[in-house]
Amino acid sequence: MNLDSLLSFQGHIVWLSITLAAYVLSLILYQKANSHPALHPLIISSTLIICSLFALDVVIEDYLNYVWLLAFLLGPATVALAIPLYNQLAVLIRMGWRVVAPIFIGGTIAPILAWLSVYFFDTPVALQMTVLVKSITTPLAMGTAEAIGGIGSLAAVLVVLTGIVGAVFAPLVFQLAKTHSEMAQGVALGTVAHAVGTSKAISISETCAAFATLSVCLNGIVTALMLPLLFAS
Amino acid sequence: MAQFSLGLCLLVLIFIASQQVTSYFQIKLPPALLGIGVLLLLLLTLRKVPMFIQTGARPMLSHMVLFLIPAIVTIVAHFALILEFPMVLLLAIVGTTVLSLFITAVISQKLMGKYQ
């Protein structure tokens, strides 16, 4: 083993360890803060790692090379989303269009409003394409953003921030919109605020969580199918 | 552990096959989306979620945040773009999310309220 490959091996071990440690720390903090959306583990762990990269003067390309295994495993983890979708199929069939319609409408309104808000300020096309995916679940959003000429990593950040905003404002919005049905609250949270919204839905009730999960899967799949057909570059 | 490994292997195999298919046929879809379709079809054919798939998938789903960290960290490469349009992005993230949530909540309540 030459010196270069030894250093590279050490880099893999060190940065995988730092990433795992940051993840575990952020999970503990999140649990201690009663799952407050502003302390989402993704924000805390990523901030810790970015600070470490700056402190140790490591460039992002090297970091990505060291932790490629984690980035790769996102793919198989996303494939596993078929399981919650399968588990909710009976609900989907029973409720039919009454559950599909709000998911479809919300899933259409959210990207259009987001796109309009950046379109009118003369922003780069890559940014416009990126905000289109902000309401779908992160792994699908990244792949979809890249397929339509957006920026995958920026999409991931916008998606997480969107989820946090949705989860924080949900109680006030449901009060103003007089949305008392837990099923309806679940659909709104899952459609607009994806997985972070679902974690908020879990704190409301099991019914709310089930409908949020269904909405995340359905909206994510429909959006990820439709956007590349409309905007593929 | 054997069941977890088997389930994980199946997920990895489905994902790699989906990557190969989308790349070979130049399909403009996220490969994982095709993978979701393949696994869903498999589950529908089996009419249940086999224990080894469940065991392999559960930790992958509950720790998905860990796999997203590398992507989020890449944001350092886009700081300039974000700092160029901070107010626009704030509007896109906060304003349109709250409005979309409101509209979806109203429609959902109208269509599903009586089922509660």
Question: Which residues on A lie below 8 Å from B88 (Cβ)?
Answer: 117-118, 121, 123
Q: How confident is the model at residue B115 (pLDDT cuts 50, 70, 90)?
A: low
Cβ neighbours of residue A140 closer than 8 Å, sequence gap 6 or more: A78, A133, A220, A221, A223, A224, B30, B32, B33
- Please tell me which residue of chain B has the smallest CA distance to A143: B30
Interchain contact, A143 vs B78, CB within 8 Å: no
ipTM of the complex: 0.88
Question: Cβ B68–A42 below 8 Å, yes or no?
Answer: yes
How far CA A58 is from CA of A50, A52, A86, B49, in Å, comes to: 10, 8, 42, 43
Each residue's pLDDT tens digit, B51-110: 999 999 989 988 888 888 888 888 888 888 888 888 888 898 899 999 999 999 999 999
Contact B112/A138, CB-based, under 8 Å?
no
The helix/strand count (H/E) of chain A reads as: 12, 0
Judging contacts by C-beta atoms under 8 Å, the chain B residues touching residue A127 are 81, 85
Binary contact (B36, A178; C-beta < 8 A) = no
What pLDDT was estimated at residue A204?
A: 81
What's the full length of chain B, in residues? 116
Calculate how close chain A gets to B3, using CA atoms only, in Å: 15
**Residue in A24, A26, A79, A128 to test binding to B, most B beta-carbons within 10 Å:** A79
Whether A86 sits inside 8 A of B29 (CB atoms) is no
pLDDT of B8 above 80? yes
Predicted pLDDT at B116? 54
Predicted local confidence at residue A232, as pLDDT: 65
Contacts of B70 in chain A (CB under 8 A): 19, 63-64, 67-68, 70-71
Q: Alpha-carbon Rg of chain A, whole angstroms?
A: 19
Residue B7 has pLDDT above 90, yes or no: yes
Contact at CB, A74 and B64, closer than 8 angstroms: yes
The answer to whether A110 contacts B97, with C-beta atoms less than 8 Å apart, is yes
pLDDT score at A233: 56
Q: Distance (Å, rounded) from C-alpha A113 to C-alpha B110?
A: 22
Phi, psi of B101 (to 5 degrees): -65, -40
| Residues of chain B positioned with their CB less than 8 A from the CB of A28 | none
Nearest to A107 by CA among A80, A135, A129: A135
**Residue A157 in tokens:** 């950040």
Answer for the pair B55, B3: CB distance below 8 angstroms, yes or no: yes
Q: Which is nearest to A224 in space by CA: A148, A122, A121, A125? A: A148
- Digitized pLDDT (tens) for each residue of chain A, 233 residues in all: 566 777 677 888 999 999 999 999 999 999 999 878 778 888 899 999 999 999 999 999 999 999 999 989 988 988 888 888 888 888 878 888 888 899 999 888 888 999 999 898 888 999 999 998 888 888 788 888 988 889 888 898 888 888 888 888 888 999 999 999 888 999 999 898 887 787 778 778 877 877 888 888 888 888 888 888 887 65
CB atoms within 10 A of CB A131: 30
- Chosen for mutation from B48, B85, B104 (greatest number of chain A CBs closer than 10 Å) is B104
Global confidence as pTM: 0.81
Q: At what angle do helices A152-176 and B96-112 cross, to 10 degrees?
A: 50
| A3-11 contact pairs (CB < 8 A, 24+) | A8/A65, A11/A62, A11/A65, A11/A66
B-facing residues of A in 27-66 (CB < 8 A) are 41-42, 45-46, 49-50, 53, 60, 63-64
- The single-letter code of the amino acid at A85 is L
Instruction: Output the pLDDT for position A19.
Output: 96
Residue with tokens 């940051």: A22
Phi, psi of A166 (to 5 degrees): -60, -45
More confident residue, B26 or A52: A52
Q: Which of A83, A130, A160, A174 should one mutate to test binding to chain B, selecting the residue with the greatest count of B CBs within 10 A?
A: A83
Looking at chain B, which runs of residues are DSSP E strands? none
Average model confidence (pLDDT) across chain B: 89
**Radius of gyration for chain B, computed over Cα atoms and rounded to the nearest angstrom:** 20
Minimum-distance CB partner of A188 among B30, B40, B108? B108
